[in-house]
Amino acid sequence: MIKKDVLVIGGGLAGLVSALGLARAGLQVVLVEKKAYPFHKVCGEYISNEALPYLCQIGAQISTLSPANISRFMLTSPTGNALQAKLDLGGFGLSRYTFDNYLFELAQQQGVQFVLQQTVQEINFSNDEFTASLSGGKSINARVAIGAFGKRSNLDRQLQRSFFRARSPYIGVKYHVRYDFPRDLIALHNFTDGYAGTSAIEDGKYCLCYLTTRDNLKKHGSIPAMERAILYRNPHLRRIFTEAEFLYPQPEVINEISFSTKTCVENHMLLCGDAAGMITPLCGNGMAMAIHAAKIATNQVLLYFGGHLTRQELEQRYTLAWKKRFAGRLRLGRTVQQLFGGPLLSEAAVGLLKLAPPALQLIMRETHGRPF
């Protein structure tokens, strides 16, 4: 039996940043992650600069990882019509392989205990504490549990979360490539029933990540065949796929990506990152939101352990703070996503935004936060 103050389930950005912040404040933290670091994840790998102040506060020196500095945005329609805009805050590009592993090592140095290559099979709450059963046979007891287990997990089924029962049509695919493209420019390329993001990361590499539907894949039989039939119709994507050097033989793929409304507390567990709600990738803000949610959770949990909040107040305050920061962004993201994917609507949207730059700037501002 492992006994700690806080159990964090999931070692992505939300989980790692939560664990790191709580451990730096003196709490005993254990984090359970099903993989072993470092590992790749399907992710656009662009982080808005709004996250930099808090990352610095918890001891993460991002500049030491040599990220790409990104200050401009490009949007293209399925036929290749393009517009560009300056990013208000800008951001940085860093692979999850590098970033997550760095935070993992940092958290270890702060005393976080990691249980890797195991999953939480079941979690229960009674007598004001959580008991988690692990796939390796051990159990963990903790006063607080933070669920940062990503977009879709077996724990969602155990918790009987409503979104889990509804099938999602979306899949995500990610590559790392090398090709000739400005390193300060993040691009979003539309195609039929999907869109692809490209941006620079560390070591002269680029992330190429796209969202599409299961039906698109089923219709063409394989990912390469689908890419040739659908994505190549956008000339910007065709150039990438035909000219870039692809750095690993198979892409990372994830199924059942859900943008449904979720709850941020379940059975007294605080949910963080994609487990609480996922913004559509075209908004380019999921990583910063995960870090911000971790900060909110950390601050409320510290108040709870300091005796300033009851458990009920902890849950209420976390829920209110989470919704205040993110609920509007998620709604806008879902609305904006409806403008893209259909060829005619995508062409019209790009054409209109090209004629009305203030509208594009407004969308970007409303789907991003301020430095925190």
DSSP string of 147-210, one letter each residue: E---SS-HHHHHTT-GGGGS---EEEEEEEEE-S--TTEEEEEEETTEEEEEEE-STT-EEEEE
Q: Residue 313 belongs to a domain with what CATH number? A: 3.50.50.60
Q: Would you place residue 204 in the very low, low, confident or very high pLDDT band (cuts 50, 70, 90)?
A: very high
What is the H or E stretch that residue 331 is in?
A: helix 311-337
Query: What is the reported pLDDT for 223?
Result: 97
Residue 25 is assigned to a structural domain of this protein: yes
Residue 234 is assigned to a structural domain of this protein: no
d(CA 202, CA 38): 15
Residue 187 is assigned to a structural domain of this protein: no
Q: Which domain holds residue 116?
A: 2-58+95-167+260-344
**pLDDT tens, position by position, 286-338:** 999 999 999 999 999 999 999 999 999 999 999 999 999 998 888 888 888 88
Residue 12 is assigned to a structural domain of this protein: yes
Residue 72 is assigned to a structural domain of this protein: no
The model carries a pTM of 0.95
Read off the pLDDT of each residue in 226-236 and give the average, rounded to a whole number.
97
Least confident range from 4-18, 120-134, 253-267, 293-307: namely 253-267
**pLDDT tens, position by position, 241-254:** 999 999 998 999 99
Residue 362 is assigned to a structural domain of this protein: no
Read off the pLDDT of each residue in 276-295 and give the average, rounded to a whole number.
89
Residue 100 is assigned to a structural domain of this protein: yes
- Predicted confidence (pLDDT) at residue 193 exceeds the cutoff of 80: yes
**pLDDT tens, position by position, 155-171:** 888 888 888 877 889 99
Number of domains in the chain: 1
Residue 33 is assigned to a structural domain of this protein: yes
- Predicted confidence (pLDDT) at residue 61 exceeds the cutoff of 90: yes
